[in-house]
Amino acid sequence: MNNILISCLVGAAVGLGVFALIRALLPGRRSAVNTVAQIDAMRAAGPVSGGSAAPAPTDLKGRIGQRVAQFYLQQGWEQRSLRSDLAVLDRSWEGFLATKLILAASGLIFGPFLFAVVWQLGMGSNPVIPVWMALIFGGVFFVLPDFEVRRDATDKRKDLRRVIGAYLDLVSMNLAGGRGLPEALMAAAEISDGWALTRIRNCLADARITGTSQWVALGNLGEELGVEELRDLSVTLGLVADDGAKVRESLASRAETMRHRELAEIEGSAGEKSQSMLVAQLLLCAGFLVFLIFPAAMRVFQV
């Protein structure tokens, strides 16, 4: 009776999953959210030179990523946080989606393969287990790239914030030397070829070509990368751009605030590591005491 009930529940779950998958893959009626998302994506892509369509990817991974990206667009799944993380890492959205799908397919194969190995060793015989293992490994492999991207993007944003603090000091020094704000922003960005200043320099160069104000371009870059400091800098420069003295004071105070924040984060991280080392030392001491007391306790209790 229990086996019949379990089989019915598993069959119902698998049927519901298949129905949900088919329902998601079938094109449905587009809502206003989906239409706006598609218009925003086309606007972000920009005009194509020559009036021709963008070239389709030739490799299999590129075609898979493009199909999955179109599906996300039709469903209205924007994933802004992930897109910001990928922009910081300078990775393409289509390549990321293709990697997720390929890893999920690998997980669907890896689960039953692992069960087959265990079954050959005589440790499992239930035919329902490979189905669950395929689903579990497929889901785990599907979300693994998300954790990797978020971890790498967090580390890279820390480097970017550190560079922004130094960049603001350089801009303030250029302003004190008599340069105007646009020239000071560009001159400070040209002092190094690191990836952070390269992104800022390219952003300022694009703004000069398109006729956009440079602080607005910095705000757009902060929106794209998910960095609050650049957005705040854009707002500040937009308010005091006409007064050189106020710009210098604002940039200097903002750079000092960022340094204090970075120093506080470093001290907090050092404190956490110190506590972790203390706990590890206490555990080692406790294990050594148990090692010393155990023989004497065995003699006392005559075990």
> What are the b/e assignments for 45-84, b being 16+ CB within 10 Å?
eeeeeeeeeeeebeeeeeebbbebbeebbebeeeeeebeb
Cα–Cα distance for residue pair 103/111, rounded to 1 Å: 12
Write out the DSSP string of 66-92: HHHHHHHHHHT---HHHHHHHHHHT--
Task: Give the residue among 106, 40, 104 at the shortest CA–CA distance from 72.
Answer: 40
State residue 194's pLDDT score. 85
Across 214-242, average pLDDT: 81
Query: What pLDDT score does 19 carry?
Result: 59
Contacts 24+ apart (CB under 8 A), 27-30: 27/74, 30/74
Lowest mean pLDDT among 15-19, 157-161, 209-213, 223-227: 15-19
Tokens of residue 194, six digits:
């690191």
Amino acid residing at 73: L
Task: Note the pLDDT tens digit of each residue in 82-107.
Answer: 888 888 888 888 888 888 888 888 88
Share of the chain above pLDDT 90, in %: 1
pTM of the full structure: 0.65
Q: For the segment 10-51, what is each residue's pLDDT rounded down to a tens digit?
A: 566 556 656 555 555 555 555 555 555 556 555 554 443 333
User: 139-198: per-residue pLDDT in tens?
Assistant: 888 999 999 999 998 888 888 888 888 888 888 888 887 778 788 888 888 888 888 888
Least confident of 22-26, 262-266, 272-276, 290-294: 22-26
For residue 2, the model assigns a pLDDT of 53
- Residue-level pLDDT at 49: 35
pLDDT reading at 291 higher than 60 = yes
* Mean per-residue pLDDT over the chain, rounded: 77
* Mean pLDDT of the 198-203 span: 89
